[in-house]
Structure formats: structure tokens, C-alpha cells
Amino acid sequence: MNPFSPSIQLLAAIWNLWQSLAADGAARLREEGGVDLKGFIALGYLQAQPYQSAELADAMQMPRYEVSRLLSDLEGKGFIQRLRQQKDGRQVQVRVTAAGRAAWEKGLHTVETVTAPYLAGLDSAQQQDLILTLAGLVRPPEGEKK
């Protein structure tokens, strides 16, 4: 019998899973795709559509200043470009470049390779249930209601 409360068990399980995934995955993403995990996730959002940096920060549930630094790094690598809006020059739209798409594609292969062993014991319905359960545990950003 585990002497810890479900809260501690949850944190320990998430921590252990994260450490296991991150140990190999983060290093491989940097080596193979030239991007860290946060950068890879940002590029993933930008594959679907351009974002304003504040919108991207909200989607990623990260502070705006942190996303600003992340975008500067991605821009320096040529993975994104920031374009001022013609209607309102203060608004900047972030778009992925061809190099950013290529880095994301390389990263996608890496992520799928790293996560495959963890998902191998689950059928597709169980995988989806796990993903939905974990997503349901995420607290919405401050000010939003679930």
C-alpha cells in the first residue's frame, strides 16, 4: 500500500514520466531539429495558423514575457517571422517559415519516436482516454473558466 496521498502520487507520477520523457526527448529535439520542447510546441501551434504573440502565450499557457523570449530565439534561428499588421502597426502576427516547418517536421519524427514506447502498451482508445484525462487536469489560465 502506498503511504502517500493521491495528490502526492499524482505529482510523483507526472514528475517521473516527465523526467523519463524529457531525458531523451529534449536532447534529441535540440540535436535533430535545432529547437527545444517549448519551441517545438510553439512551432506546432504555428503550423495551423499565424498567431499574435499574446494569443500564442494564452494557447501555450505561458507568461507573455517568456513567449516573447521564445519567439526571439525562434526568429533568430529563422523558424518564424513577425509581421506588423497593416491596419494596426502595433499588432504583430507570428508566422512559421519554411525552415520552421522543416524543424517542426524533424521534431515531430523525434517526438513520435521518443513517445512510442510509452504509448505502445495502450490501444488507440486508451491513448485517447489518457490524453483527454491529462488535458482535463490542466487548469485554465487565470480569469478563464472551464
CATH for 63: 1.10.10.10
SS3 state of residue 94: strand
Q: Is residue 55 part of a domain?
A: yes
pLDDT value at residue 88: 65
pTM to 2 decimals?
0.80
Q: Is residue 3 part of a domain?
A: no
Q: How many CA atoms lie within 13 A of 119 on its CB side?
A: 15
Q: Is residue 88 part of a domain?
A: yes
pLDDT value at residue 145: 47
Q: Is residue 2 part of a domain?
A: no
Q: Is residue 81 part of a domain?
A: yes
Q: Is residue 5 part of a domain?
A: no
Q: Tell me the residue range of the domain where 126 lies.
A: 18-137
With CA atoms as reference, report the closest residue to 29 among 105, 142, 133.
105
Q: Is residue 143 part of a domain?
A: no
How far apart, in whole angstroms, are the C-alpha atoms of residue 146 and residue 138? 10
- Count how many domains the chain has: 1
**Residuewise pLDDT in 10s, the chain (146 residues):** 778 898 899 889 888 888 888 777 888 888 888 899 899 999 999 999 999 999 999 999 999 999 999 999 999 999 999 998 767 656 889 999 999 999 999 999 999 998 999 899 999 999 999 999 988 888 765 655 44
